Amino acid sequence: MSSFRKKASFNKGTVVDLFCGVGGLSYGFLKEGFEVVAGIDTDTSCQYAFEKNNHSKFINWDISGLTGKMVNSLFRKGQPKILIGCAPCQPFSLYSQKKEDGKWMLLEQFSRIIEESKPDVLTMENVPRLIDFKKGQLFQDFIQKLEKQKYEISWNIIFCPDYGIPQSRKRLVLIASKNKKIELIPPTHKPKNYPHVKDFIEYLPKINAGEQCSKDPLHRAAGLSKENLKRIRSSKPGGSWREWDKELVAECHKKESGKTYSSVYGRMSWDDLAPTITTQCYGFGNGRFGHPEQDRAISLREAALLQTFPKGYKFLSDKQNWQTITLGRQIGNAVPVKLARAIAKSIAIGLRTK
């Protein structure tokens, strides 16, 4: 793995990203002046985007076979070692139907890598439900192992709009340091200046359901059936299927068990926050992912912008074949870039003020 090293051009510290995906977390660190030496993931479909945008090396490796020695071979000697990562959150998420998904064990593997590699600083981002998963034991075990290794730990449940992210989304952010406690920087936004949907996607060219923008292949909207086209035309921004005519309501929502599921088949509002962007955000029936005024679900480009990826972030090469489901997963799984920058800035301040 030492062959993956490259000439250092930063001095704040070097970063290795576990579960890197397409690089949302890494990109935040890059923009705050850190060198990201490598990202590690098993999903090779993320390689192009990670490497292209982060000027780094993507390593296709299963974390269960990764050792601390291998990780340490990637860090720059004489610079702070920073290990970052977001273990797949689906098993901890309220959206997950597989509550006992074996992926939760990846957090234990993350803990093992920390113990073996002994980074100076580490950070983890995940869903808040991780705190209560398996009656809280999993998270407590993770914390206790860090404490035994003499890490100073801070963690917060943050509301994403507080950091300039236009989603009604909460996340768990943990930072641990060998030298001193590093706290997440204070919120950069207040409710009176929260970003809204229109601030991020209103300027994009109009497209219809099933169409793709000629100048931007990522600005493509999924098609809609005749029934769903009628439904979205009957949907008001910020509303729900409860406002439709009875003949448009899905059979599952007419049942007692489905009446509580109001957070589907909805339109976003220009002057409000978007819902949490998920891996299926391109589907009108998968959440409140209807465009505020156009009769379609949001496009993949719009989803990426709401995740605060810059417009110029390259997800695809010109020759790369792709599927909506793949890009939807990549974008929905990513750490919002603005949150990543807040985390990176916090660590930069902490390292500078030893």
Task: Provide the 8-state DSSP code for 79.
Answer: S
| DSSP-assigned beta bridge partners for residue 57 | 38
Return the SS3 of 82.
Answer: strand
DSSP-derived secondary structure for 6-69: ------S-EEEEET-TTSHHHHHHHHTT-EEEEEEES-GGGHHHHHHHHTSEEEE--GGG--HH
Return the SS3 of 176.
Answer: strand
Given the residues 46, 89, 160, 281, select the one marked as catalytic: 89
The rounded distance, in Å, linking the Cα atoms of 342 and 340 is 5
CB 231 within 8 A of CB 253: no
Sign of CA dihedral 33, 37, 42, 44: positive
CB 288 within 8 A of CB 237: no
160 belongs to the catalytic site: no
CB 209 within 8 A of CB 224: yes
Residue with tokens 């070692």: 81
Name which of 268, 249, 49, 254 is nearest 166 in CA terms.
Answer: 268
Residue with tokens 């090293």: 5
The token pair at 124 is: 């983890």
Beta-strand runs (E) in 163-215: 170-177, 212-213
Q: Which residues are catalytic?
A: 89
